[in-house]
Amino acid sequence: MISINNDVKKFLEATKQKNMKPTPRQEGKPAPPLEKKAEGERFTLPEGGLLMSDPHPLNQAIAERVSHRRYSDTPLELKELAYLLHVTQGVKKATSKATFRNVPSAGARHAFLTYLHVRNVVGLKPGIYRYHALDHELVLLNEGEKSGASLKEACYGQTMFDQHAVSFIWVADVERMYHVYGERGYRYLFLDAGHVCQNLYLACETIDSGTVAVAAYDDDKLNSLLKLDGDDFFAIYVAPVGKL
């Protein structure tokens, strides 16, 4: 048997359904908003579903999917970025309590915020942005090229971060998940992140682009770059994207 750190064992035991305490929702606490908004200059995006009408066989995308770690200098078009945002986190339908998107999510919590590091996208200044999924718009948080070097450093110098057109950094908004599932919701955050990144992989195949899932990063450095506290909000998954 492998010797697992006791804290990990404790986490798995503590988050078994039978060990769950009443959740905030069961205690009647108010629900968190569907999406927490960022402050900054806003950019309207082209309709995200535009490229969805281009036929591309699903089986071909699945069969051709590989991790790409080298990209060309060709910039990503804004409509392509809008498409990638749409397939990963775009909102198809919203009610007062939930959103429905192109990816599944436990209890339709959709407890992610999408941050972008833009390096080479037509019409966008380099820098760090937040995607407002409900409004399908970008908010510029930190303009400038310097954040690219910090992202690369946070990801242990992986060379994709010199070449990417844009990097997706999905951030867990813990309160949204915790409200309904309590501590078991931590498991669901990590499961949900996988669906999001897989859609990015497949969609990249349809626009002559590539991506690679990245989980090797320094949590503290990445959270600090995005000004996240690391508790209520933390970076959960990263994916650089570029044209091939």
Ligand X SMILES: Cc1cc2nc3c(=O)[nH]c(=O)nc-3n(C[C@H](O)[C@H](O)[C@H](O)COP(=O)(O)O)c2cc1C
Q: Which residues bind ligand X (CB under 6 A)?
A: 66-67, 69, 158, 212-216
Residue with smaller CB distance to ligand X, 133 or 222: 222
Residue with smaller CB distance to ligand X, 35 or 192: 192
Q: How near is the Cβ of 186 to ligand X at its closest, in Å? A: 16
Q: How near is the Cβ of 214 to ligand X at its closest, in Å? A: 4
- Token output for 241: 């994207």
Q: Which residues contact 225 (CB under 8 A, 6 or more apart)?
A: 128, 147, 150, 151, 154
Q: How near is the Cβ of 86 to ligand X at its closest, in Å? A: 22
- Distance from C-alpha of 66 to C-alpha of 3, rounded to nearest angstrom: 33
Q: How near is the Cβ of 133 to ligand X at its closest, in Å? A: 23
Contact (Cβ atoms closer than 8 angstroms) between residue 133 and residue 88:
no
Long-range contacts of 142-145 (CB under 8 A, 24+ apart): 145/119
Instruction: Give the amino acid at 93.
Output: K
Closest chain position to ligand X (CB): 216
Residue with smaller CB distance to ligand X, 8 or 216: 216
Residue with smaller CB distance to ligand X, 104 or 123: 104
Residue with smaller CB distance to ligand X, 99 or 158: 158
Q: How near is the Cβ of 79 to ligand X at its closest, in Å? A: 26
Give me the DSSP letters along 56-79.
--HHHHHHH--------SPPBPHH
Contact (Cβ atoms closer than 8 angstroms) between residue 125 and residue 192:
no
Helix (H, G, I), strand (E, B) or coil at 84: helix
